[in-house]
Amino acid sequence: MNLKPLKFGTVTIDFPVVLAPMAGYTDAAFRSICKENGAGACYTEVTSAEGIRRDSQKTFQFLEVSAQDHPIAAHIFGKSVEAMVEAAQYIEKLNRFDWIDLNCGCPVKKVVRRGAGAALMKEPEQIGEIVRAVKKAVSLPVSVKTRIGFSPSFPDHLTIAKIVEDAGADMIAVHGRLACNFHKGEADWEKLGEIKQALKIPVIGNGGVNTPEDAAEMVRVSGVDGVMIGRGAVGNPWLFDQIKNKPAEPPSIQQRRKVIETHLLRLVELTTATAAGRRCKTKFIPEQAACLHFRPHLAQYIKGLRGRRELLQHLNEMHDVKTVLTAVDNVLEQNQ
């Protein structure tokens, strides 16, 4: 796969295979694991512009970054032009981010009900207004993450993409499925190719990449400038390095064990730090909260291994690091 360094605005992504923004997944702990395994850039979790505007401590936690994160985008969602502008200006003042990314594709119902995320695709002119206003308000590069359409009734992938470009966005990332389909069905990489052909700004393709071969095929079919990986990286952060350094070698049992432990310990550290900044107490102590948050990651880390089913049956009872890692060792020993 022949991908050149991706440049837009003041940003350069040397290896343009990047980690997608995913609510509940792409916190600083997981981002660090993916960066160490070859991801060229990262995005924050989906962050509410209204939350930033209203001084929400929980929202601000999504904007914590480390030196290892760079290049990194602050990924925000909202419907109001004013809220998105204020959030972008706040983010720029933090001096932590390389660029700002505007979500115009999240299909989650609670986001869509607010008229944000994927709902904006039904009002493409609103997308244009948001992009223009944010570009005018900040000096950081601005990109947009969207989909090929909201539903069969609103498939205007080229219309939306052109509006994004004409409004001044520096880059666009497009998921090759309709929002109404969430993550079901095949991603339409040919439509990504149509978008790439129609635009002058860089295009990153997203959707359906779970193997190095998938990444190469997306680029071959669509000609996109970069590849974005979301769910395919959960439990498999080695995918980035496998794409970069063929032939791809699967992780050894020892590598898998090391990454699981490192990820969990970093999540405990992150949860401890964020708990210290909260105004109100939470139900769980940080270690317990981290272990519970780690469950979907762990389920994917041990996917396909003997003993996985038994571990998952007791996953909700594992509230400390020692218990989790002991259970992991029991699974891994069955697969030596």
Positions annotated as catalytic residues are 106
Helix (H) or strand (E) run with residue 180 in it? none
| Under 8 Å between Cβ of 163 and 193 | no
| Under 8 Å between Cβ of 101 and 75 | yes
Helix (H) or strand (E) run with residue 205 in it? strand 203-206
Provide the b/e sequence for 139-173 (b: ≥16 CB within 10 Å): ebbbbbbbbbbbeeebbbbeebbbbbbebebbbbb
> Can you give the C-alpha Rg of the chain in angstroms?
20
**Alpha helices, DSSP H, located in the chain:** 28-36, 49-53, 57-61, 81-94, 109-112, 124-137, 157-166, 189-198, 212-222, 239-244, 253-276, 286-293, 295-301, 308-313, 321-333
The whole-angstrom distance between residue 34's C-alpha and the CA centroid of its chain comes to 11
| Under 8 Å between Cβ of 189 and 221 | yes
C-alpha–C-alpha distance, residues 51 and 238, integer Å: 33
Whether the link from the prior residue into 71 is cis, omega within 30° of 0, is: yes
Angle at 154 between CA 151 and CA 156, to 5 degrees: 120
Q: DSSP code of 66? A: -
